[in-house]
Amino acid sequence: MKKKNKKVNAGILIIGNEILSGRTQDKNVAFISNWLNSKCGISVNEVRVVPDLEKIIIKNILELSKKFNYVFTTGGIGPTHDDITSQSISKAFKVKYEYHKEAFQILENYYGKSNFNDGRRKMAKMPRGAKLIYNPSSAAPGFIIKNVISLPGVPSILNSMIENCKQYLIKGLKVYSKTLNLFTVESNISKQLSLIQKKYKKFVEIGSYPFFRLGKIGVSIVIRSTSKIKIQNVNQDLIKLVKIKKIKILKA
């Protein structure tokens, strides 16, 4: 992994008609986001889901790659006719779409020459200049070009490959979090939360999320920051608020 930087962010582009149609439920966003935050100190700031349409993929790749330090794409790098992610990224960056010599060799060795058909060869085609993200599960590699990392859509395969992305990433500061579960409604504490957020706006992000548990309505207050001390300070302010409002805290 490259040298640590203070703030590093990423966007995720989910590619696939099967996600939009509801046939397949995405599991990759949560996994990638958690891994980036906990292992790399990189925050995911945006997620988009797009169909297998070249123009739309190109448009989103160009927008996200300019907006964030990294873009992770999932889906569309397999052997079938509708797997067009690699080709679309090539066109987005105006580089040749061609066989990657090492990827071709990996796949030929994996399948054997007699079983290395056109569909399997297709998985060795990617943008010129791309570097490989090795795949310990099913051989077919992902790749990185510029700041775009392209991974498969199958969760188990993506999960097995994710650690191989680390070498290409600049590490940011880890974001810590603390959750306070309260038996109250958001409207009862919204004004005070706004004041606390304003007080620490440069250092801390405070989220408010309603829940229904044990037959009661409640609110989870999530504090996120790169500073453990700032989280403790916010938590102390929240505890004071809870005491003033006589709100019951739900033990974890």
Name the residue with higher pLDDT: 214 or 34: 34
Least trusted range by pLDDT, from 3-12, 99-108, 193-202:
3-12
**How much is the average pLDDT of 126-134?**
98
Amino acid identity of 59?
K
Least trusted range by pLDDT, from 82-91, 157-166, 207-216:
207-216
Contacts within 8 Å (CB) and 24+ apart, 134-138 = 134/161, 134/164, 135/160, 135/161, 136/160, 136/161, 137/161
Enter the CATH code of domain 176-249.
3.30.70
Calpha distance 152→158 (Å, rounded): 6
Amino acid identity of 225?
S
Q: What are the boundaries of each domain within the chain? A: 8-168, 176-249
**How much is the average pLDDT of 66-92?**
97
**How much is the average pLDDT of 231-241?**
96
Least trusted range by pLDDT, from 5-9, 70-74, 241-245:
5-9
At the topology level, CATH places domain 8-168 in Molybdenum Cofactor Biosythetic Enzyme; Chain A (3.40.980)
Q: What is the pLDDT of residue 167?
A: 96
- 215 pLDDT band (50/70/90 cuts)? confident
pTM of this structure: 0.86
pLDDT, tens digit, 9 for 90 and up, residues 8-62 = 999 999 999 999 999 999 999 999 999 999 899 999 999 999 999 999 999 999 9
**Mean pLDDT computed over every residue of the chain:** 95
Residue pair 104/80 in contact (Cβ under 8 Å)? The answer is: no
